[in-house]
A and B are shown apart, each in its own frame.
Chain A
Amino acid sequence: MENIHLIGNAHLDPIWLWRWQEGCGEVLQTFRSAVERLKEYEGFIFTCSSASYYKWVEEIDPELFEEIVSLVKEGRWVPVNGWWVQPDCNMPSAESFARQALVSQLYYYEKFGKICRTGYNVDSFGHNAMIPQMLVNAGMRCYVMMRPGMHENAEIPENLFWWDSPDGSRVLTYRIHDCYAVTGQKHLSEEIEYHKQAAANKGHGMMIFYGVGNHGGGPTKGDIDYILGLKKDGYDDLKFSSPDEYFKEMCMNALDIPSWNDELQHHASGCYSATSMVKQLNRKAEFWLESAEKWNTVAASSTNLPAATEKFGDAWREVCFNQFHDIFCGCSIMEAYDDVRDTMGYAMSIAAKEENKALLKIASEINTWLDGVSDSSASNERHHCRNLKFPRPVVVFNPLSFEVETEVQTYHPSRKVTDSDGNEVIFQNVRSSRSNDSHLDTAFIAKVPALGYNTYWLWHEDSEFVEWSKPETDIKADGLTIENKYLKVEFNKENGSIKSLITKNDNHEFVGGEFCIPTIIDNTEPDTWAHNIFRFDKEIGKMKLASIDLIENGPARALIRVRHTVNGSYLSQDFILSSGCKYLRVKCRALWQEPLTILKMPVEIKGNDPISTYEIPSGFIKRPCNGEEEPALTWGDVTADGYGVAIMSDSKYSYDCPGNKLRLTLLRNSIFADHYSDRRAADFSYCDEGLHRFEYAIYPHAGKAEESGVQKLASIFNVRPVTVPVGYRKGTQPQKKSFISVDKENISLTAFKFCEDGSGDVIIRLNETEGRKVRAAIVCNMLDAGFYADFNGMQIKTFRISKKDGSAAEVNFLEGIVM
């Protein structure tokens, strides 16, 4: 019986210890070599992942690509993993996983007439618990992975198992034993013997992944000849195969195997924090592209602005590429991150331009005319912001699927701010980022409907035609204490930490120990990945308090600035409490030049039996508070005795939680691409050296983290409303409008885009975020659409709205173009 499936493959890192140009060349050489081997050996089968590689070959060597197309049709070349690359499988957002599938599976379908049915991330450094959902939504039912290995986590079933994600999705998963690049007679013979024994023990077939890898290569003639020789010598259990064939064959027989319903961790725990720059770029690009595409869809559906679907596709392809595990995990060479900066910049430039066009287009339809006002271009003032006789209109846009009330900022100081209904709103003139004219900008509390806008009217500070507005506020500040209607925060003047954090509705004190005191950890031992090290717990000490000052105390917000130093490094934190805000925002600026260190920010709470909870793609996960470094998206949380504190961040992905103390990893200053080197070189480059600007926030709450509204607040924290100054126009649209209604707050809109097939149909993607079943009503009058959907906890659902009649169909990530 042929129960040892030999999978000829070539693991290709497009970037790692080389830049992408070399990776591209490596792909071309490997593909050419594989085609030659397929011509030479009749029964040989070659398996290869990553649509981006195929795209390179198609563009650079179309003749070779045509040969591959033929081989795919023959079933001898097997594309796997319907994603653009083998991404990191912890840190991309759910929407990124959707785009990985969308740009790739449609490419495969176009070129090969079929899509991949097997996911394949053999080198990725751990896999979040929602991967089954991401695969199933992309048309894949089976999965191949390797890390963590048995030596890193022996609880995860060996070899073959059912993997279930919390939403109810399931994939048949194969965990590779030891190596995805078996090559040479010795290695091959060892692996064959091992797998023969394993097959006998487990009662089902096994896969061996052979072929030179990492820098490409693939199966050598020597490897194939050796296998053929073994078969000739009576090794009847060996067969050239593919993962697709393997899984199908396994399912044709009796197959009673274990199941697993958790994440697959840990392998390289340092990768959640290494090289802050790529993490920040990814977070920013993901959210910006989501927002920009929503606004393009709104504008193109309601005005004559054209859809920018292809441009967004270009941008997402760059983001998807940079989610490759060795890139996103921060473990590639320093030069590679120059390319990351450029390509992410390209993607965000598309987002910025398309968003701007769309917002101005939408804004141009809003009626902002005031009787008596002349057109701003005719004004004697330098620009209409200084039209002192009238307030200037500013439109605030909110791309989230729920109403948002939050602080926004716009240029120039004001004397009075009113909303679209003429009500005064809380505002404050705050220090701007420029050193010009007044140095002041206006911060005000805006309330903006779901995927919609609201128009605010700002009287310039210098206007003599209006009285100074003194709106009532909940903000109070005194010395080192700031408070609003929800929170009261008191700082420790000795070390700059928070010594008291109280929710005012129940007078609960959250501080149970170290709280926002920057802590330095020794990072000498771990390599960039932190191979075999799962806890960063060797504390060097705390940063020293340099200064602590109350900087702002106004109606809209209070701000305390705390500056810490160590050696030549500093961390400046602006703790900002805004009116009506349930969390404390912390705007950070750090100059870091401490080699082989980690900077962590702890929040230690009171209580017993702590539980830590973290956002993962499309949901959340509970993990033990054992001090292991953990990956998370926009928030992590520790809760004990019914009260918890979440830390939200705009660019970080790594936490630990020893006991009651949740710590956000702010910086991790490893040597670039240091794979347990002997570090003889004298002058290393460090991946977090230099100036960093980022934000985090502290959110105290009662009850379970997932039911506390933290996901919604983390979205608000990461996706800020955009303020657009506009002119005075006689428009047809109201000053306040929402373009979609989703009636449940635990249903989040992650995509509002045009279908990739150019039909003009609109794609709406929604995600349940609190882990509970719910029915949602979705209404989009602009598209004449309205429908209901039942969600499982943490489930993603995608809908396609017909341009013709507004009818809805539920589809998967592939938008109904192919299933």
Chain B
Amino acid sequence: MNKPYKLKSHLCRSCRFFALDDPAVPAELLTAVSAAPDLSNFAYPLPSKKSDYTCFAVQKGVVWYGAKTGLTRFDPAAEREEDIIMYFSAGRDLRDNNVKALLAKDNGIWALTDTGAAFITMQPMSAEEKAYILLQETLDHVERRGMISQKELKTAYDFSSKFSYAHSDNDGGFSAACAMGEIFRYETLKREKGADHPETLGAKAIATKIVEACLLLMYIHGRGDGFVARSYGLSDEPVPDDGFFFRRNGNKAKCEETSASKKAGFAGLEIDCSAPIPERLSKLYKDLGYTDDDVYYKADTSSDEITLHYLMMYFAHKYLTWDDPELEAIIKDATTNITNHIVDNNYELRDFTGKATTWAKWNPAYFSTVDGYVDGCLNSAEILSYLLTAMEITGEKGKWKEHYDRLINDLGYADLVEGHYDRLYQFCIATDSSMPSEIMFGDHMLATCSFWLLCTLEKDEKLLAKYRKGFTAWRTSIADEHNPGYDIPYILSCPDEKIDIERLATWFYRTNSSRLAAGVSLIGRHDVAPKALIDGYTRTSYLLPPDERFISKYDRDPLQYKNEDSGGSRFIESCYVYTFAYWLGRLNGLFE
């Protein structure tokens, strides 16, 4: 792109719900006599079947059509094609889909349904405003001691009912992604407003805290061997029945009872945890009155978190440490520890038994297994990116360079990086399965992180060409998502390639201003043609705008024919999905 794309202020939907007996509901809505619209020659595809439409209301040239299956907004003058018809549905926009009456009032539309009333407004909002609204929601409701993944609500839609604790499988990884968004924001503001501007300092504080929380996971286990905990909790938080957890007690940590630990015979197992935790990091819980002995941590980390941590550490080191030598030292130390752990352990992350965790293996032996054969192409890129990152952050080469060269020259890792889809196709033919159903959509983020680092840090033209080719090969499925979080790193890594900037703009414009993961009514939409594949996996015929599809992290197929995918209206997701992409684009001058 030669000049920044101007992201304009854009209408963003906002919905408030009311009980039918709530006095705020206009009486004329409750008593309205509805008439079905004549849509027999309507020129656009409609989300509901024409015979399902029961009522309509007109407001400033925009027509709202109510149906038994949701609400349709028709703006014939909409500037963008995808905004001409919009669909509002339960449970994100309506309490239920049977719209019986509509009332245009107070610059909004009231929709009466069986179980309540909804007041919907379309509010002009800039992309930056949306980023701040989403961040604030995350800080208010999702963040816990700098960790940011998601938060569950006791009562659907009721943010005040949120649990104080949270658990997510890739807690550290998602936090790292959120940290990067804030690092990009900080650097953007620093350039635009100066390092001492209050907004800049605010951004730095948030970014630093999340980075510290991520770094804490690299020490909290007390193993002192460069292992990275997946997550951690405190004494007043229940231990999830999901994997292996160790509770610290003095210099020992004991394996908690979970289904998995009992089954594996590890419950009660004690291991060492005597290695120190940097004071700066443990302050995250000690300042809240907890001690090291209040900590339990999750001990079955996968390559996913490791990859996100490396990218996070690269940017944290690059942008956050210029005036923070203490943080720089911790990042260098953590990077050194993890990298040594991996290279000293035959390219594996070793768990408390000394064996590799299930999904953190980067060696040829793993690549020759059935799972590892398909994973090999991504994992080879990952470990090469770890080594380059370690060299970049620490300024040292030594054995890491030796390993890097060995992986490339002796084991052919750089040649392996472009073969992912060949192997995946092969797997699909062997198993009679469909390509989309076999794609791990979370791998799109991991591939993006790895290749971005490789393309950024490698200076050798031949290797760089291979990495760019590898990144481009991943676009086979990544490109269909039109996700700026993937597309921007790609265009920064492969500047000769093209991305569809208008589709990216749509993504920013049409992302909700809340990450409450309430679902939508996708299944049964009249304007969506589902496509069932050979193994039953079903996708939509087109990529719906984010505000009309399920809310998730960067780990699901946005084309999947599914109503919701993240726990629904009882969960609040992290803002990183938006802030990571937005501030990255701003930082690199792609957007105004």
Contact = CB atoms under 8 A, between A and B. Distances in A.
Nearest to A170: B425
Given A773-B500, A775-B542, A788-B541, A247 B429 contact: yes
A788 B528 contact: yes
A743 to B, nearest CB: 9
B531 A810 contact: yes
Interface stretch (B5-13, B37-45, B194-202, B569-577): B37-45
A781 B45 contact: no
Interface in A615-653: none
Contacts of A779: 42-45
A788 B45 contact: yes
B45 A806 contact: no
Contacts of A808: 526, 528-529, 541
A786 interface: yes
Contacts of B542: 775, 788-790
23 contacts: A139-B534, A162-B425, A170-B425, A247-B429, A251-B430, A252-B430, A779-B44, A779-B45, A781-B42, A784-B50, A786-B42, A786-B44, A786-B45, A786-B527, A787-B526, A787-B529, A797-B541, A799-B529, A806-B50, A807-B526, A808-B526, A808-B528, A808-B541
Given A805-B49, A809-B531, 20 more contacts: A139-B534, A142-B429, A170-B425, A247-B429, A248-B430, A250-B426, A252-B430, A255-B422, A255-B423, A775-B82, A777-B45, A788-B45, A790-B541, A790-B543, A797-B541, A807-B529, A808-B529, A809-B529, A811-B531, A816-B532
A172 B427 CA distance: 12
Nearest to A780: B45
A778 interface: yes
A809 B543 CA distance: 15
B368 interface: yes
Contacts of B425: 162, 170, 172
A154 interface: no
Interface string B427-441: 111100000000000
A75 to B, nearest CB: 15
B429 A807 contact: no
B529 A251 contact: no
Contacts of B368: 254
A810 B43 CA distance: 21
B541 A789 contact: yes
Given A807-B526, A809-B532, A811-B531, A259 B44 contact: no
A810 B500 contact: no
Nearest to B528: A787
Contacts of B447: none
Nearest to A807: B526
A777 B530 contact: no
B426 A251 contact: yes
- The 3 A-B pairs with the shortest beta carbon distances in the complex, nearest first, are A786-B45, A810-B531, A251-B430
B541 A259 contact: no
B44 A777 contact: yes
A741 interface: yes
Please indicate which of the listed interface residues B81, B419, B541 has the most CB atoms of chain A within 10 Å of its own CB: B541
Nearest to B429: A251
Chain B interface mostly? loop
Contacts, number: 97
B285 to A, nearest CB: 47
Nearest to B536: A819
A190 interface: no
B526 A810 contact: no
Interface string B18-52: 00000000000000000000001111111001110
Contacts of B81: 775
B160 interface: no
A141 B431 CA distance: 12
B422 A259 contact: yes
Contacts of B427: 251
Contacts of B315: none
Contacts of A141: 428-429
A741 to B, nearest CB: 7
Contact of B530 (A139, A162, A784, A809): A809
Contacts of A777: 44-45
Interface of B: 40-46, 49-51, 81-82, 368, 373, 419, 422-423, 425-430, 476, 500, 526-534, 541-543
A168 interface: yes
Nearest to A257: B422
Nearest to A791: B542
Contact of B541 (A254, A810, A816): A810
A66 interface: no
Given A741-B43, A787-B527, A256 B541 contact: no
Contacts of B476: 168
Interface string A767-806: 0000001010111010010111110000001010000011
Contacts of A789: 529, 541-542
Contacts of A781: 40-42
Interface string A718-738: 000000000000000000000
Nearest to B44: A777
A172 B45 contact: no
A281 to B, nearest CB: 35
B502 to A, nearest CB: 11
A787 B528 CA distance: 6
A248 B82 CA distance: 43
A787 B51 CA distance: 16
Interface in A252-280: 252, 254-257, 259
A806 B429 contact: no
A168 to B, nearest CB: 7
Contact of A778 (B45, B533, B543): B45
Nearest to B430: A251
A805 B49 CA distance: 8
Contact of B422 (A252, A256, A788, A816): A256
A434 B534 CA distance: 57
Please indicate which of the listed interface residues A254, A778, A787, A811 has the most CB atoms of chain B within 10 Å of its own CB: A787
Contacts of B534: 139, 819
Nearest to B377: A256
Nearest to B431: A251
B474 to A, nearest CB: 14
Contacts of A256: 419, 422
A775 B44 CA distance: 13
B531 A806 contact: no
Given A781-B42, A808-B529, A255 B49 contact: no
B526 A806 contact: yes
Contacts of A168: 476
A819 B542 CA distance: 20
Contacts of A810: 529-531, 541
A816 B532 CA distance: 9
Contacts of B42: 779, 781, 786
A775 B544 CA distance: 11
A778 to B, nearest CB: 7
A243 to B, nearest CB: 12
A819 B434 CA distance: 11
Contacts of B41: 781
Please indicate which of the listed interface residues B45, B419, B427, B428 has the most CB atoms of chain A within 10 Å of its own CB: B45
Contacts of A797: 541
A819 B533 contact: yes
Interface in A147-179: 162, 168, 170, 172
A550 to B, nearest CB: 45
Interface string A132-154: 00000001011000000000000
Given A247-B429, A256-B419, A257-B422, A787 B45 contact: yes
A254 B368 CA distance: 8
Contacts of A250: 426
Please indicate which of the listed interface residues B42, B81, B426, B543 has the most CB atoms of chain A within 10 Å of its own CB: B426
Nearest to A248: B430
B371 to A, nearest CB: 13
A248 B429 contact: yes
Contacts of A248: 429-430
